Amino acid sequence: MTAPHATSTSPPSWLAMLRAHGGTAAFLLSGLGIFVAAALPFVLLAPLLAPARRYAIFVAWLRAEHLLLRLFCGLTFQVSGLEHLPRQPSLVFAKHQSMLEVFTLPLFLPPQAWVLKEELLEIPLFGRVARLLGAIPIRRGSGLEALEAMLDNGLRALKAGRWLVIFPEGTRVPAGQRVQRLKRGAGMLAAAAGVPLVPVAHNAGCFWRRRPWPIHGGTVHYVIGPAIDPRGRKAPALNREAQDWLDATTAALEQQAGLVQADRPRASGR
């Protein structure tokens, strides 16, 4: 799937002015309004719906949010590498630069469960929605107990036919920065699951940054890499191969978006 190309026709002057001066605020306010309006009935009705129907409603909401992003911010996305997606449920290692990929990955990947920090599931309304969609919490700082719980829940989701999405860096890393090494739990999950590991790189952080705040217009590029076979391999080796591909591909995409990798510092290891 590829997002529609932005047309070459310039937007009306009033829309161009809105995008330049208040597009981000307009998107956030309207997007939040749609979320609240949709989330309240969803929380009430979701327990009565089959998981597949719940997920379809979630994807419909994401499509509405992307329409707002395109209207108010002039932001679209494109995807390459769809031919690399395995036929069986797999484990996705995705870069995490901003909130934007959270809005986008479900639009071009098969139905999935997400591995999230447990504190995110404590956010009112959002946390309830995430749990109803099958999110897998991981408690930071709980050591082996947290890893075992993540492995157990992750394997259960894969056996149920859901893909599993994990951000192996463990947190958002701004565009242009890299972590020294991926979280060990990501590689452990890949080794234990024995299913293909699919890396996904992108340059979303060049357009939706944590700071400075405004969302910039343009086209975000997502690249799905060749699947990595984890069978018979150790977690550190899987992490290294995935990280090498993610770092190299992300750097190329950031340069494509106008960010020069060499001008940005390297993040400390996590």
Q: Each residue of 23-57: pLDDT tens digit?
A: 899 999 999 999 999 999 999 999 999 999 999 99
* pLDDT band for position 259 (cuts 50, 70, 90): low
Fill in the amino acid letter for 78: Q
Distance of CA 6 to the CA centre of its chain: 22
Answer for the pair 224, 198: CB distance below 8 angstroms, yes or no.
Answer: yes
Mean pLDDT of 154-182: 91
Q: Is the dihedral of CA 200, 204, 206, 209 positive or negative?
A: negative
Mean pLDDT of 160-189: 90
pLDDT at 7: 42
Q: Each residue of 111-150: pLDDT tens digit?
A: 999 998 888 888 988 999 999 999 998 877 656 777 788 8
CB atoms within 10 A of CB 33: 11
Task: Give the rounded percent of residues in the chain with a pLDDT score beyond 90.
Answer: 64
Q: How far is CA 183 from CA 115, 135, 239, in A?
A: 13, 19, 8
Write the burial class of residue 180 (CB in 10 Å: 0-12 exposed, 13-18 middle, 19+ buried). exposed
Q: The domain 75-263 is classified under which CATH number: 3.40.50.150, 3.40.1130.10, 3.30.1490.20, 2.60.40.10?
A: 3.40.1130.10
270 has a pLDDT exceeding 60 = no
Q: Cα(205)–Cα(217) distance, rounded to whole angstroms?
A: 12
Q: b/e map of 49-86 (b: 16 or more CB within 10 Å)?
A: eebeebbebbeebbeebbebbbbbbbbbbbbebeeebe
Q: How far is CA 213 from CA 22, 208, 209, 216, 249, in A?
A: 11, 8, 6, 9, 25
In DSSP terms, which residues pair with 201 in a beta bridge? 223
